[in-house]
Amino acid sequence: MSKQTVRDLDVKGKKVLVRVDFNVPQAKDGEVADDRRIRAALPTLNDILGRGGSLILVSHLGRPTGDPAKDEPFRLNKVAEKLSELIGKPVKKVNDTVGPEAEAAAKQLAPGGILVLENVRFNKGEKKGDVEFAKKLAGLADAYVNDAFGTCHRDEASMVAVPEQFPTGHRAIGFLVEKELQILDTLLANPKSPYVAVMGGAKVSDKILVIENLLKKVDKLLVGGAMTYTFLRAQGHSVGNSRVEADKLDVAKHVLELAGPKLVLPVDHLIADKPAAGAETKVVDGPTIPEGWFGMDIGPKTIELYSQVIKDAGTVVWNGPMGMFEVEAFAKGTKAVAQAMADSSAVTAVGGGESAEAVEKFGLAEKVSHVSTGGGAFLESLEGKSFNSLKVIPERG
């Protein structure tokens, strides 16, 4: 069960439309604030160029409103500049995705050339999955590669209707998507035991389907972050002012029953008198948070316990920070889990917006097996969902 990859395409002298996910964080001045997603696409791009193909790149950036004046910051100009710097080659950028300027530039593209099209979400047809729009976009190139893992859970035109316009032999996934799918296969179908999931972050409700699906597979599920307090509340404990989803207590009870002893809750907590920098903090043992206090991070005994379980694991998947790590005083638990993942000889995978950000921030991204480039796509994969964007790419013959 493996998809046709860019390796299987004959790209010599061909124009290859690569759907990349260059939806990068932007600084206030519009500069690329974090180029991780651009760097992640380079293996695919260099492979095509190295074999004598040319590149037509298509991506979205941010959430354009449809009002051209407001959408100026969502143009891909800075992204194209950053790509040129990282790949060490000239990059041509046009101001439309389809239409005369894009067509002319695509026609003139010579082998080894790189063309970046304008933000694909400037076109209404993109979100709608419009076939007429897809035909125009597909008409620019000879082959299609999906290397946009972070967008794979979307049915937008450039993800589904565009590849459908190419003969099946001219569609493939890129190396980034291939790598993400390989790690997901390990996590969902072939984990080495003991298999441990670490779940944290803001809400139980965001993660409920992931938790339910992973409970079928893992040996242990270690819980941290704010969702801890919804579970503790569901068990009948007082949690002071900690963040609780009061309307999700039934869901939390159901998960606790389903999980039995597999689900491990923190044995101690770092609490604070306010959920902000400069707060007074202390550590409490046991499941009760005193009145007027906020549970902000897992405590030192929990750190010890979780770190040991992670180090003894065969496979670890982690989503959701253990505390409000953005505030230094509440970052210890998240840092310790990241460090334990880095030190473990297990297959270690991290996914989710803030979780990936935390691992990067602590400088440990290179020390874990994989940091997913997809937040939503990673979580929906862990829920057991399959994506139309990948169904349209054939299996290898």
State the residues that interact with Mg ion by CB under 5 A. Answer: 353-354
Question: In the complex with Mg ion, which residue's Cβ is closer, 191 or 224?
Answer: 224
Whole-number minimum distance, CB 321 to Mg ion, in Å? Answer: 9
As a residue count, the chain comes to 397
d(CA 176, CA 51): 18
180 binds ligand ADP (CB under 6 A): no
353 is catalytic: yes
From the list ligand ADP, Mg ion, none, which binds 323 (C-beta under 5 to 8 Å, kind-based)?
A: ligand ADP
Structure tokens at 33: 């604030």
Q: Which of 99, 112, 353, 384 is catalytic?
A: 353
By CB under 6 A, the residues from 268 to 287 that bind ligand ADP are: 275
Nearest to 317 by CA among 348, 345, 340: 348
Q: Which helix (H) or strand (E) holds 42?
A: helix 36-50
Question: In the complex with ligand ADP, which residue's Cβ is closer, 121 or 243?
Answer: 243
296 binds ligand ADP (CB under 6 A): yes
Q: How many CB atoms lie within 10 A of CB 143?
A: 23
The residue within the footprint of ligand ADP, chosen from 23, 44, 59, 355 (CB under 6 A), is: 355
243 binds ligand ADP (CB under 6 A): yes
Question: In the complex with ligand ADP, which residue's Cβ is closer, 143 or 184?
Answer: 184
Per-residue exposure over 248-258, b if at least 16 CB sit within 10 Å of its own CB, e if not:
bbebbbebeee
Per-residue exposure over 158-182, b if at least 16 CB sit within 10 Å of its own CB, e if not:
bbbbbbbbbeeebbbbbbbbbbbbe
53 binds ligand ADP (CB under 6 A): no
- Was 354 annotated as part of a binding site? yes
d(CA 209, CA 1): 25
200 is catalytic: no
| Contact positions vs ligand ADP (CB under 6 A) | 200-202, 206, 225-226, 243, 275, 295-296, 319-321, 323-324, 326, 352-355, 375
The set of catalytic residues is 37, 203, 353, 376
